[in-house]
Amino acid sequence: MYIKKWPKGAMIITATILLWLKTYIVYKTSFDIKIENWTQEIILFINPLSFLLIVFGISLFLNVKKQKRYLLTSSFLLSVTLFANVLFYRFFNDYLTIPVLFQTSNLNDLGSSFHELVKFSDAFYFTDFFVLLFLFKGKANVFTNFQASKQERKIYFLLACAIGFFNLGLAEMERPQLLTRTFDREMLVKNIGAFNYQLYDVFLQSKSSAQRAMADGSELVEINNYINANYQQPNQDLFGIAKGKNIILISMESMQNFVINETVNGQEITPFLNQFIKESYYFDNFYHQTGQGKTSDSEFIIENSLYPLSRGAVFFTHSGNKYSATPEILHNRGYYTASMHANNKTFWNRDIMYDSLGYERFYSLEDYQVNDTNSVGWGLKDVDFFDQSMRHLTEMPQPFYVKMITLTNHFPFELDEQSQSIAPYNSEDKTVNNYFLTVRYTDEAIKRFVQQLKVNGLYENSIIILYGDHYGISENHNKAMGEFLGVEITPFESAQLQRVPLIIHIPGQTGKTISTVSGQIDVKPTLLHLLGIETKGNIEFGTDLFSKEDKDFTVLRDGSIITKDYLYTKDTCYRKDTGEPAERINCEPYLEKAKTGLNYSDKIINGDLLRFNQGASQSNLNPK
């Protein structure tokens, strides 16, 4: 059979076109990339091209024999990278970063979630590779062997770079300062493409490693000035009101604020919390500020009053740093400190990080009896978790500071039928439907726990702080969420949905709802002041929530800003009362402040700057 050979160079072009088109199809089908105009669509379409041309172009330097092997291998590896991003996105609604890749212990534990994520049809993600394999190795070998001349290579790479610069130029027009403000991975992928993004991430990783090596304490002067300028006086009526009391901090998995005082099919979703907030301080404008580190980020923010990182989980990337976290401060003041969470102790690198945070004891999976009947989804059910934890609580020395992390209300929100006490929501979205069931279940578990605290005589001498760790319903579920809430989920609504409940119960205090705009970053100074510990001089980015000074400003990790009257997200300033876009100038004053705060916090973490600050903070002093 005579096969007509394709022109020289066709090999690279075929490999490029196949992967290029696939990448674009994956963008459109597997990621939720919002496109607002034609320029953005063009950017999205062309953004894989220059990268692929350059990578595949390397084959022009190889001898004829090695070219095919090189093209096949690189095409396969790039497809794997893309597919890994697809899987990661399904679960986290976010793109991969190198630090996250090394969190293999977490990936192992994904367990039940993993089955939900990988489908048989996923083999389609490699179609282009099989086509390439067939063209290269099959009988139909249509390619001419070709050794490029110096001149040809020059023209080729000049062209590839020109396409790259054209792409960057368009992107810079659409999104000024794209590379300097990388809080938002979606923007990056949308503008420079999934592959360049991954490359850029390698650059960021090396930069952060270099930062620690180069740091000396001098940056702290400037940071301290910023922090002192933002310090807020404690409320004297409440300062020290909880002195010597036990602290029970409960992290409520994926608990968003919209479920509070809300019903599904006419039934309350959180009947207990709705009661409990009446006898507690309840903050209904409180935002989570987590990034890729999810639960661990929330723990980090709450106990350090520092922002988490914009990529990766601090618990992994900087667990060896020096911190001055709440458990350490309280331990130095005679408290017994423990964390309780019925999951593998290595998940989120907790076993290592907890030492740096000052925990004396971590009650992890091995301290709980977990079997088929008392577990569901991610592991031990919340009711059993609290039951078993109670035994540890009653035996430990007082005063104690204990953090308890719930788990049942975790994606994909599985729950056995006997434990369901309300009917699911009725929409096309299974995740949203089931979310209410597990929230309702966790509410019940907390109710029983509080009853047990009373029975065991711990209720009256303990401060109970409940907070939602991060969102549970991602933007993948906007349609069903929109139905439930009766509004269209715009970027404005999405940002508002990042509110999580914060409930502080102080024995003897009557309840009050506080609507100040605030975030997880504010919990540490608030708690320390309640305990009568001064925080002036501490390196913390939050402020006391009970302070009488004006606050009403919070920053999310993606750079979104919420103030009393305005909300800034995805490069747009909105009026809060109407949700309509407002003049950018209204948000402008906060933008600079937010950026400075996030940058300083990053500097502290990347440079491990607190190691230069030993003994400086008052609250860290050991009074003994």
Which residues does the annotation mark as catalytic? 295
175 lines the binding site for ligand GP9 (CB under 6 A): no
Would you tell me how many other CB atoms lie within 10 Å of the CB of residue 219?
Answer: 15
288 binds, among ligand GP9, Mn ion, none (CB under 5 to 8 A by kind): none
128 lines the binding site for Mn ion (CB under 5 A): no
Residue 165 · residue 53 · CB < 8 Å: no
382 lines the binding site for Mn ion (CB under 5 A): no
431 lines the binding site for ligand GP9 (CB under 6 A): no
Q: Report the distance separating Cα 80 and Cα 58, nearest Å.
A: 19
Within 236-275, which residues bind Mn ion (CB under 5 A)? 253
Residue 48 or 327: the one with the smaller Cβ distance to ligand GP9 is: 327
Interface residue with ligand GP9, options 31, 283, 315, 347 (CB under 6 A): 347
Residue 258 or 385: the one with the smaller Cβ distance to ligand GP9 is: 385
316 lines the binding site for ligand GP9 (CB under 6 A): no
343 lines the binding site for ligand GP9 (CB under 6 A): yes
Residue 223 or 405: the one with the smaller Cβ distance to ligand GP9 is: 405
* Minimum distance of Mn ion from residue 470's CB (angstroms): 6
520 lines the binding site for Mn ion (CB under 5 A): no
Interface residue with ligand GP9, options 175, 185, 294, 331 (CB under 6 A): 294
> What is the distance of C-alpha 48 from the center of its chain?
26
Interface residue with Mn ion, options 196, 257, 295, 339 (CB under 5 A): 295
Tell me the pairing of strands 267-268 and 263-264: antiparallel
375 lines the binding site for ligand GP9 (CB under 6 A): no
> What is the distance of C-alpha 326 from the center of its chain?
21
405 lines the binding site for ligand GP9 (CB under 6 A): yes
Q: Report the distance separating Cα 152 and Cα 541, nearest Å.
A: 56
Residue 358 or 468: the one with the smaller Cβ distance to Mn ion is: 468
* Minimum distance of ligand GP9 from residue 309's CB (angstroms): 14
Helices 10-30 and 38-46: crossing angle, nearest 10°? 130
Residue 253 or 328: the one with the smaller Cβ distance to Mn ion is: 253
Interface residue with ligand GP9, options 14, 257, 295, 389 (CB under 6 A): 295
At 43, the amino acid letter reads I
Within 221-260, which residues bind ligand GP9 (CB under 6 A)? 253
Burial class (CB within 10 angstroms; exposed 0-12, middle 13-18, buried 19+) of 537: middle
403 lines the binding site for ligand GP9 (CB under 6 A): no
Residue 254 · residue 472 · CB < 8 Å: yes
405 binds, among Mn ion, ligand GP9, none (CB under 5 to 8 A by kind): ligand GP9
Residue 170 · residue 162 · CB < 8 Å: no
* Minimum distance of ligand GP9 from residue 279's CB (angstroms): 28
Residue 275 · residue 504 · CB < 8 Å: no
Residue 347 or 359: the one with the smaller Cβ distance to ligand GP9 is: 347
**By CB under 6 A, how many residues form the interface with ligand GP9?**
10
183 binds, among Mn ion, ligand GP9, none (CB under 5 to 8 A by kind): none
Q: Report the distance separating Cα 305 and Cα 36, nearest Å.
A: 36
185 lines the binding site for ligand GP9 (CB under 6 A): no
The dihedral region occupied by 553, where left means phi > 0, alpha psi between -120 and 50, and beta the remainder, is beta
The closest of 354, 379, 360, 352 to 299, measured between CA atoms, is 354
469 lines the binding site for Mn ion (CB under 5 A): yes
Residue 412 or 491: the one with the smaller Cβ distance to ligand GP9 is: 412
The dihedral region occupied by 405, where left means phi > 0, alpha psi between -120 and 50, and beta the remainder, is beta
Tell me the pairing of strands 561-563 and 553-555: antiparallel
- Percentages of the chain per state (helix, strand, coil), in multiples of 5: 50, 10, 35
Within 145-174, which residues bind ligand GP9 (CB under 6 A)? none
288 lines the binding site for ligand GP9 (CB under 6 A): no
* Minimum distance of ligand GP9 from residue 349's CB (angstroms): 11
Please give the residue whose beta carbon sits closest to Mn ion in the complex: 295
Helices 150-174 and 49-57: crossing angle, nearest 10°? 160
CB-based contacts of 334: which residues, under 8 Å, 6+ apart? 399, 624
349 lines the binding site for ligand GP9 (CB under 6 A): no
The closest of 436, 469, 425, 440 to 270, measured between CA atoms, is 440
443 lines the binding site for Mn ion (CB under 5 A): no
Residue 554 · residue 301 · CB < 8 Å: no
CB-based contacts of 180: which residues, under 8 Å, 6+ apart? none
Phi, psi of 467 (to 5 degrees): -145, 150
Q: What angle do CA 556, 562, 563 make, to 5 degrees?
A: 145
Residue 135 or 437: the one with the smaller Cβ distance to Mn ion is: 437
> What is the distance of C-alpha 350 from the center of its chain?
16
410 lines the binding site for ligand GP9 (CB under 6 A): yes
Residue 107 or 582: the one with the smaller Cβ distance to ligand GP9 is: 107
Residue 141 or 356: the one with the smaller Cβ distance to ligand GP9 is: 356
513: β partners: 282
Q: Report the distance separating Cα 441 and Cα 259, nearest Å.
A: 13
337 lines the binding site for ligand GP9 (CB under 6 A): no
Q: Report the distance separating Cα 106 and Cα 96, nearest Å.
A: 14
**By CB under 5 A, how many residues form the interface with Mn ion?**
4
CB-based contacts of 589: which residues, under 8 Å, 6+ apart? none
* Minimum distance of ligand GP9 from residue 182's CB (angstroms): 22
543 lines the binding site for Mn ion (CB under 5 A): no
Span of 341-349, 498-506, 561-569, 612-620 interacting with ligand GP9 by CB under 6 A? 341-349
SS3 379: strand
At 163, the amino acid letter reads I
87 lines the binding site for ligand GP9 (CB under 6 A): no
299 binds, among ligand GP9, Mn ion, none (CB under 5 to 8 A by kind): none
Residue 228 in tokens:
């002192």
* Minimum distance of Mn ion from residue 439's CB (angstroms): 13
Residue 294 or 570: the one with the smaller Cβ distance to Mn ion is: 294
297 lines the binding site for Mn ion (CB under 5 A): no
443 binds, among Mn ion, ligand GP9, none (CB under 5 to 8 A by kind): none
The footprint of Mn ion (CB under 5 A) covers: 253, 294-295, 469
The footprint of ligand GP9 (CB under 6 A) covers: 253, 294-295, 341, 343, 347-348, 405, 407, 410
